[in-house]
Structure 1
Amino acid sequence: MLAAERQSHIMDMLRTQGAVRVADLVDSMGVSDMTIRRDLDSLAAEGALTKVHGGAVSRVTRSTAEPGFQAKSDQMELEKMAIAESAARRIEAGMSVVLSAGTTTWHLAQQLRDIADLTIITNSPPISDIFHAQPRLDRTVILTGGIRTPSDALVGPTATAALQTMHADVAFLGAHGMSSQAGFTTPNYWEAETNRALMAAAQQRIIVTDHSKWGVVGVMTFAHLQGVETVICDHRLSDEAQQHLQDTVPELHLARPDAQHSSDQTHRETS
């Protein structure tokens, strides 16, 4: 295949999947790893995509752009799994846990299936389905109603009203973007409102999101950086972002996809 043909194929895959892996492109086109990386470099230089570890993702150019659940689930999967494992170690039997809609929280839900006596509150049908597929008598799952977004979140007045009378120990929320000025953001107005209700229902608020979200700004802020107790991210977060979060958030926890739990990093600021 000529370079133009390969790059056209890559862009076609990005349009349908939202993300591509170098290994998958090597297999599908029968070329070398180095050839694919040169193609990705060329497309990134043109602004057609954003390179990430092991592949590339679609370039988000609008603050209202809202990728579907499947497209997002293929992005930063190893990082999300590591973040989920770190988050799960904070949950004990008997707790009530809020999980916002999102692919990182979906991975967290996978980690919670075997923990006894949990109450799960979520606005995510895919997360609810995880627990429905493995029912337990000692577990309660509360799924809010609401309008379903492209990212598979239930949002709007119905979801917000349902959450106003609920009380949980801890809330884990994903984010479309996070930045020093805008805080934690989403591209959907109603999702921002519902996320604020999810946070208000919990005694402790934890953001779970990967490093690629730093500098991304959605159209609506649902929380400022100082409005949460903890951020759990992965170790590839830039030094600049780490420093800013350490100065703003009480706890920043960095997970390593390829390391044991003991090599995770935790930074705390004390008042």
Structure 2
Amino acid sequence: MSDVGPQLVYSARERDAGCVPVARTLARRLVAQGRPADGGWILACVVAPELWRPAALETSARVLALDAAELLAGGGEVLAAAELYLAAGDRGRARRLVERLGNPTAMRRLNEAEEPRLMLSQGGLTGEGAVTTLRAIRTRALEALTETDDLVAEEQLLTLLELLGLDTPAARLAERQQEFARAARAWERAGEPIKAARAAYRGGDTERVLEILVKVEPDHPEYRAACVLAIRLAARLEWLDYALDHLVGDFIEQPPRNDAEREAFALLARLY
């Protein structure tokens, strides 16, 4: 996952309508349990993809970033809080936190920055990399979410994981809830086409299985496994089209490597 210029997982409208209410409720409950930093990481995760975009944060995103920073500061995550204040355009509060840290490098970088809001993509306050990268925020938010079973319903948690882009845990939770279509989407976003295809198959959507598999590129580590699964299903359906033909082009250029691939070669020959 790239930390530079990430794509938004959801639109601002989806964030405000579907994600923010659950995240804010959860953050309040975590604060009540004496876990303000965990609440801060979850709020930060809601707005994280937008922190790294060059445009200034829109009002609702800025409010989220400021609230996340306040909770992080209250939970002792001072450097992270200062960086979020900078991302939200509040240089004054960021300065006060940096003064509390007593970090001369961070203070020098803050004083010298012409555009402090963009500091996250320029080494952060320490100059050695921001502590509020997209990956770091998502990791800390996921750690917080793993200990919230008694604070939020599983259905709400699944929606939150999906909207926050925490695709692997979202896929696992969706499978546990037997929400196989959602699991397939999450596995696909996570770059796990075989798991996505199996989830779609468990959900009874064979067309979706093939849609997932035929998009796997030859350089993907699971390419040959994807070809085997696609050929087996296509043979069962007696189905052959350009997409499948294109998928197996590289696959058939090399001899089969195991029994499963030998079987796939035989099935493919019958289809042709």
Q: Output the TM-score relative to the length of structure 2.
A: 0.28
- The structure number with the bigger radius of gyration is 2
Q: Which has the higher helix share?
A: 2
Q: Which has the higher strand share?
A: 1
Higher relative contact order (CA 8 A, sep 6+): 1
